[in-house]
Amino acid sequence: MSAARAVTIVALVASSGCATDLSLTRARLELRAGRLDKACDAAASLVGRSRRAERLDAMRLYIDCQSRRGEIGALERWAAGLSPGAPRSYARALVALARSPAALPAARAQLEAAARAWPESGEIPYRLGVILLADEQPRAARPWLERAFAREPSAASAVALAHVCFDLGELDKALEWARKSVAHNPTSRDIARGRALIRRIARREHRVPARLSARFHAALLELTSRDRPSTAIRLAHELLADHPELAAVHTLLGLAEVRLGNTARAVVALRRAARLDPADPINALYLAVIFESRSRLERAADNYRKARHFDPFNVRAASGLGRVLSRLKRASQAARAYDHLVALERGGHRALRLAGRAHLAAGGLGPAEERFSRLLAAEPSDYEANLRLAQILLRKHQRRAEPALLERARDHAQRAARVRPDSPEVRQLLTQLTGGR
């Protein structure tokens, strides 16, 4: 086993899988702050009193804490003293790997025993799957990760399956799993792993042959580091004269033309690149940007969709698609595109605002309320969030005639008025809410 694989396996012993409860989150924060004693004590107490799903997370955290303290022997005695069953097998497997990644065969047997004892668990097959994947055994990892996703659908399992499929040469399935991961509330780590997959795909699928890489990188250097697009264009044309089939060079040529403002030439080059390499998201993304700048919105939307299809983690593709669909007055589609952006930006303020606006334009009061409420939780004095929530609650009150909705609407409108007291929109809304008083 290589040193890199060994390090990865040890890291996977401690890494989190699915979301956990608040107590575990606090214990992890203690660990990140370097307060090992507090983190270990908190994890130890959670092992004994957590529900079944959280117990495994608490065990993993406890093993991580004690490993950092160098207490592997104490961990082995602790694991051996647990009551027979799935948690004991799970703990003994992870402790063995914490001591030495060479213990993988025995740890695998322990995890398989734990999975048989707790067949409904998603964490146990997930942990076994990612450890096997890190040991470069994608075929063995696949059924365990599929089982994990079936038991507890999560972005972590989906991203791992995407890497498995890519390792097995199944590009379409890899991208399908990558797209699924975005739909399952990915963490920052999940998104980072997803973007690592896209980089792996780019290196394998969109590369220049080794014998030509020096000439290609010379042209790329002129464009990216020396800011000499004209020189990059000349070098790209020289390379294409001998090798017109190189999609990456057509892409480089297109980007250089964009830099010079020659959008017509850029479109020609990027389209050629897209024909030669349909799965490269860069060509579609830049074509979308050019078409949007020309107000050719249908073509822009098609290319943003294609870019997002082949790179589900691309923020520019997600935001561009939402923006173009909004301009096309397709509010429901724009809302879905912006929800994708919310997932990628982990509930960022900009994404929540755009998603809230789109859902409101589509008539989705519930989804719009949820997005603006999340924005308000992060920014309590946000003018637009308070204004839109007041409007949403008023419309709900008009449908259901619930006094509590009206009271909440007044509260949000008054908050918006405190931020912008001269806003005609807020004044009009307050008049509606107070009956002119």
Domain residue extents for the chain: 3-152
* Residue-level pLDDT at 66: 84
Q: Which residues contact 272 (CB under 8 A, 6 or more apart)?
A: 247, 250
pLDDT score of 206 more than 80: no
Mean pLDDT of all residues in 31-48: 77
Per-residue model confidence (pLDDT) at position 19:
41
Compute CA 387 distance to the chain's CA centroid, rounded to the nearest angstrom.
30
pLDDT tens string 387-422:
999 999 999 998 888 889 999 999 999 999 999 999
DSSP label at residue 186: -
Q: Is the confidence at residue 316, as pLDDT, over 60?
A: yes
Q: Looking at the predicted structure, is the pLDDT value of residue 359 above 90?
A: yes
Does 72 have pLDDT greater than 90? no
Q: What is the share, in percent, of the chain residues with pLDDT greater than 70?
A: 94
Q: Which residues contact 80 (CB under 8 A, 6 or more apart)?
A: 92
CA distance 435 to 94: 65
What pLDDT score was predicted for residue 7?
A: 43
C-beta of residue 165 within 8 angstroms of C-beta of residue 157:
no
50 falls in which pLDDT band (50, 70, 90)?
Answer: low
Give the SS3 label for residue 71.
coil
| 295 close to 311: Cβ distance less than 8 angstroms | no
The two structure tokens encoding residue 390: 């007041």
Q: Return the pLDDT at 283.
A: 96
The mean pLDDT value of the chain amounts to 90
Average pLDDT over residues 197-216: 87
CA dihedral 58, 60, 62, 64 (to 10 degrees): -150
Instruction: Tell whether the model's pLDDT for residue 222 goes beyond 50.
Output: yes
Mean pLDDT confidence for 180-204: 94
- Half-sphere exposure (Cβ direction) of 350: Cα atoms closer than 13 Å: 9
Residue 243: CB atoms within 10 A of its CB come to: 15
CB 144 within 8 A of CB 126: yes
Q: Which percentage of the chain shows pLDDT scores above 90?
A: 68
**Band of the pLDDT at 29, cuts 50, 70, 90?**
confident
CA distance 14 to 8: 10
Q: Give the C-alpha separation, 96 to 100, whole Å.
A: 6
Structural contact between residues 82 and 95, judged by C-beta atoms closer than 8 angstroms: no
**CB within 8 A of 21, min separation 6: which ones?**
50, 54
List Cβ neighbours of 79 (8 Å cut-off, separation of 6 or more): 88, 91, 92, 95
Q: What is the value of pTM for the model shown? A: 0.86
pLDDT at residue number 361: 97
Q: Where are the alpha helices (DSSP H) in 100-153?
A: 104-117, 123-134, 138-151
Amino acid at 105: P
Instruction: Output DSSP code: residue 152.
Output: S
CA distance 330 to 362: 8
Sign of torsion over alpha carbons 77, 14, 133, 53: positive
Specify the higher pLDDT residue, 245 or 18: 245
- What's residue 12's pLDDT? 56
- For residue 10, what pLDDT band results from cuts at 50, 70 and 90? very low
pLDDT for the residue 375:
96
Q: How far apart are CA 398 and CA 405, in angstroms?
A: 9
- Containing 37, the helix (H) or strand (E) segment is helix 36-49
Tell me the fold of 3-152. Answer: 1.25.40
Could you report the per-residue pLDDT of 118-134, keeping only the tens digit for each? 999 999 999 999 999 98
Residue-level pLDDT at 25? 75
What single-letter amino acid sits at 266? A
| Both structure tokens of 217 | 């990188």
